[in-house]
Structure 1
Amino acid sequence: MPVPVVLPAGFSSRAATDADVEAIHELVAATERELHGEAETAPDGIKAVLSRPGFDPAVDSVVVHDVDGRLAAWAWLNRGKRAQIDVDPGHRGLGIGTALLDWAEARAVEVGTTDWIAQAVDDKDQAGVDLVRARGYDVLAVNWQLELPMDSEPVIPALPEGLTVRPFAAGDAAAAHLLIEDAFDEWQPRRKSYEEWAAMMIERSSFAPERSPLIFAGDELVGAALCLDLPDTDEGYIEQLAVRRDHRGKGLARTLLAVARHGFYRRGKRNLTLWTHSDTGALAMYERLGMTVRRSTTMYRGGPF
């Protein structure tokens, strides 16, 4: 049975459904435009959250509407550990975010989480930062969005002898999942199953296999940059980038970035972005490759409950 949400008068809540995807996208985009002057959220990213294996929207998500039926906020909790709350800029300061944080914590306890949950808050969202800080949440990690403008057609560097590069193909999915999860095991709290990874990555409508370079040593996959081609933007996005541990320090990340940039440049894109996590230790590497920080979010951890 869904955990109830105690909201201010005039607001109602229910579980999210696929029919809400576009409205949720518009809400999240509005928050991004308020904080950064532009939106990067895509509808297929919202749909991926609702459809990921192990996630039950009927009990793990909430949408909040005002008295006029307008979407005012939404929240979700994945596997009792990772929460996200977004409140429309026009409905802030009314206690909706507090009510949804109460819901997330109660839902976590219901599924057996009593130690902690984590939530990412944009570093420019002072109200959100103040809310989690007032609850005793502390910093778990920092995420940085990096960018690399493309003022001219990128030059692709030569690979070391014995290595080749080509775009992602359908038969590469299993190897790409293994490479990504092996690399991310070094910092992420849990390993994603193939089904969950695929739902969040290659099954998205914006996944761009033809602009996602893979590097091989013989027939072994040793590097990958999996990219999204989002509509209505002049930017290309690298969603996941990984190099196998035994092939690091050979310039493969530089080549993956260059090939991805080249493909997006040919598509008329003039900026390349990606996110990196403080636990990866990759920020300095990306900065050496010419990328700069554009925005950041902090992952806060709260509990026990």
Structure 2
Amino acid sequence: MPLTATTLGLFPLPDDARETLADLKGHQKGDLVSGDEPPEIEAVYDDARATHLDTQQAAGLDLHVEGQARWDDMLAHPLTVNDAVDTGGIVRYYDNNNFYRDPIVTDALEASGDVARDLERAGEHTDSLQAVLPGPYSLAELATDDYYGDDADFLAALGDFLAGEAAEFPDVDALFLLEPSLATDPPGDGPDARASDAIDTVASAVDAPVIVQSYWGALPDKVYAHLLDADIDGVGLDLVSAPDDNAVLVGEYGAPDAISLGLVDGQNTLVESPDIIEERLDWFTERLPGMDFTTTYLTPNTELFHLPTNKFEAKLDALATAADRVDATEVDA
């Protein structure tokens, strides 16, 4: 069972970057469109990206994300920087106390290359680059449609838009599509198949393994079954908030060749020990005897943005240490 330690991205800003951005006169964080940041702001984000990559390499992760320091609106970021989108007022981010600006789509969406540009810069620091994008269904749930006029058309357009963004990526070793809304606000009959189709559109745009990771719960049976119809390489499961339900899903419906397991709590400052991470991994594998995967990704169960820097770094260290210990044990065996 080859293990790959990685993350879902969306890291906390390094402390010095947070302070510098707050001090820069006239900078309202998040209000600048991609490519329009003044050089001094762009330099801060470049430094934050380099710091994020150094942190992942020092921890010993196998794949490295760009860190998404510029993603002030979290998963909504690819829309809020797009020319076809107006940003509305502040709204709640899912069911917790996170907030973001409401992206209002007012015109036909076209890829901007925003995410690809950040990945190209990250690629200067690592040979093990992993991309992160919101999934099309979650983006549809986070956004307001003021152009397409039909839910099905809007979801399909978001799939095409994200596929266009992904097609501009440099070479990456994996793409994680983050789809928490599939668990928190699952689609019903009909929309569940359309969500799978939109995911399939994005997955077809990259020549790399594509893993669809949900969190904050488990998917309903039909949503999960439809997800497996998409041409994806792996599914991600939140084993912190819904371990039993997710294990049952895989036991009943199977999974693609790869699986991603959220074993570290991305929303809690309590740092799990490598022993706890190993116990959660062992629990899952024991529930599914005989099931083998070409790759098992070990990740936090959510993004890590709201953790203090020291807790964020400690969780990465624990995750990489656990993966190394399990790999070493299997080699010795």
Answer yes or no: same fold by TM over 0.5.
no
Query: 1 or 2, which has the higher helix percentage?
Result: 2
Q: Which has the larger radius of gyration?
A: 1
Normalising by structure 2, report the TM-score: 0.29
Query: 1 or 2, which has the higher strand percentage?
Result: 1
Normalising by structure 1, report the TM-score: 0.31
